[in-house]
Amino acid sequence: MNLDYFVYLPGKIKIFTMEDYELLKSRPELYARKMDVQNSMGLIKQLDLLE
């Protein structure tokens, strides 16, 4: 099984935002790629709260 989850869009990899929280929470992969501080801070904080 691949441990990384990402979405490849034409020419780039999708940057996950808070809108993707439920999707990422339901995925079996351990890591999500790609997030950035400017667009993903809410998502990063929510994911940090998961046990």
Residue 21 has what pLDDT? 96
Give 2-29 pLDDT, tens digit per residue: 899 999 999 999 999 999 999 999 999 9
Q: Per the structure block, which two tokens stand in for 41? A: 């801070």
pTM above 0.75, yes or no: yes
Number of domains the chain contains: 1
Residue 51 predicted with pLDDT over 80: no
Residue 1 predicted with pLDDT over 90: no
Residue 24 has what pLDDT? 95
Range of the domain at 25: 4-49
Give the C-alpha separation, 11 to 38, whole Å: 21
Name the phi and psi angles at 23, rounded to 5. Answer: -60, -50
